[in-house]
């Protein structure tokens, strides 16, 4: 693995890791499992004692209603942890599944403990959990108060920024979105048919260009303006006012597990 691993890239968004931090991360993420598309990673009600980290591919969290309708409540992209909460909460309140073929790192309780022994890494894990929460709030706003067209556009803006952050967007602002329109519908609280029409609208307005599962955004600012996208909730700008050195010295946020 190289420094360009998505999960290291992602954690470095917030904490300026040193070589020791990175080595530890690489070392603890050595247990890797490959999964096919549309397989279950974690079932609701389960109490597994392993943390999953997406190395490549797309996965999602979702919930299902009795009538079979599904709500996807998070996209898990390369660099995202699936279930950091597993050591605190008693049981899973949602399912996690792959959307595409995935490579996942498996971390034991000891691995997480070791990672949390490093203040900067611990802080980065906390940060990653809190960003997940911020994304949930934004999605709630998206579904609750934006029109269907804006919802689709907003989700694409978010994916553009999140994927860019882990090096998965090319120079022309295009990225692979290996997700069906049905899955987008389950994410946005819409039906497949309507998502399809909204995507068509965005294409007709030249806000996006779709070829297969590749999305190209010709005018990023234009798309963001259209749906009122502001990236602040992703907290991708590391806070310069809180020097990492001071943090490291004070061993702030050491979170130890067992």
Partner DNA sequence: CGCGTTGTTGAAATTCCTCAAGAATAGTGG
Partner DNA sequence: CCACTATTCTTGAGGAATTTCAACAACGCG
3-state secondary structure of 34: strand
Show contacts of 8-13: CB within 8 Å, 24+ apart: 8/79, 9/79, 9/165, 9/166, 9/167, 10/78, 10/79, 10/80, 10/128, 10/165, 10/166, 11/79, 11/121, 11/124, 11/125, 11/128, 12/124, 13/165, 13/236, 13/238
Residue 86: both structure tokens together? 């597993």
Which of DNA, a second copy, none sits in contact with 129, Cβ below 5 to 8 A by type?
A: a second copy
Residue 149: both structure tokens together? 């067209």
Which of a second copy, DNA, none sits in contact with 43, Cβ below 5 to 8 A by type?
A: none
Exactly one of 148, 247, 248, 257 binds DNA (CB under 7 A); that residue is 148
Q: Closest distance between a second copy and the C-beta of residue 182, in Å? A: 14
* 192 binds a second copy per the rule CB under 8 A: no
Task: Classify 82 in phi/psi space as left (phi over 0), alpha (psi -120 to 50) or beta.
Answer: alpha
Exactly one of 28, 94, 118, 162 binds a second copy (CB under 8 A); that residue is 94
* 69 binds a second copy per the rule CB under 8 A: yes
**Strand-pair partners of 74:** 61
Which of DNA, a second copy, none sits in contact with 176, Cβ below 5 to 8 A by type?
A: none
Shorter beta-carbon distance to DNA: residue 30 or 38: 38
**Strand-pair partners of 54:** 104
* 143 binds DNA per the rule CB under 7 A: no
* 194 binds DNA per the rule CB under 7 A: yes
Q: Closest distance between a second copy and the C-beta of residue 114, in Å? A: 14
Shorter beta-carbon distance to a second copy: residue 219 or 251: 251
Which of a second copy, DNA, none sits in contact with 192, Cβ below 5 to 8 A by type?
A: DNA
* 148 binds a second copy per the rule CB under 8 A: no
DSSP states of 143-155: HHHS-HHHHHHHH
> Tokens 């190209």 belong to which residue?
216
**Strand-pair partners of 216:** 174, 209
Q: Closest distance between a second copy and the C-beta of residue 30, in Å? A: 24
Asked if 8 and 25 count as a contact pair (C-beta separation under 8 A), the reply is yes
* 200 binds DNA per the rule CB under 7 A: yes
3-state secondary structure of 204: helix
Which of DNA, a second copy, none sits in contact with 233, Cβ below 5 to 8 A by type?
A: a second copy
Note the residues at the interface with DNA (CB under 7 A): 147-149, 180-182, 189-194, 196-197, 199-200, 210, 212-213
Note the residues at the interface with a second copy (CB under 8 A): 45, 61, 63, 65-66, 69-71, 73-74, 85, 87-91, 93-94, 123, 126-127, 129-134, 136-141, 143-146, 188-189, 228, 232-233, 235, 237-239, 241-242, 250-258
């Amino acid at each position: 693995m190289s420094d360009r691993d998505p999960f290291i890239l992602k954690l470095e968004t917030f904490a300026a890791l040193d070589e020791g931090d990175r080595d530890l991360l690489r070392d603890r993420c050595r247990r890797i499992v490959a999964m096919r598309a549309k397989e279950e990673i974690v079932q609701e009600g389960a109490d597994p004692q392993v943390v999953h980290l997406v190395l490549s591919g797309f996965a999602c969290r979702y919930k299902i209603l009795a009538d079979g309708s599904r709500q996807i409540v998070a996209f898990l992209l390369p660099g995202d942890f699936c279930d950091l909460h597993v050591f605190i909460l008693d049981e899973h309140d949602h399912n996690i599944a792959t959307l595409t073929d995935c490579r996942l790192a498996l971390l034991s309780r000891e691995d997480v403990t070791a990672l949390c022994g490093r203040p900067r890494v611990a802080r980065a894990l906390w940060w990653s959990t809190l960003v997940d929460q911020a994304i949930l709030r934004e999605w709630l706003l998206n579904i609750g108060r934006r029109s269907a067209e804006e919802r689709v556009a907003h989700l694409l803006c978010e994916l553009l920024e999140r994927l860019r952050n882990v090096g998965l967007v090319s120079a022309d602002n295009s990225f692979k979105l290996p997700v069906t329109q049905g899955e987008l519908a389950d994410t946005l609280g819409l039906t497949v048919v309507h998502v399809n029409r909204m995507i068509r609208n965005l294409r007709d307005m030249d806000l996006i260009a779709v070829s297969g599962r590749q999305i190209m955004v010709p005018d990023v600012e234009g798309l963001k303006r259209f749906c009122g996208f502001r990236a602040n909730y992703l907290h991708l700008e590391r806070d310069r006012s809180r020097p990492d050195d001071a943090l490291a010295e004070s061993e702030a946020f050491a979170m130890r597990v067992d």
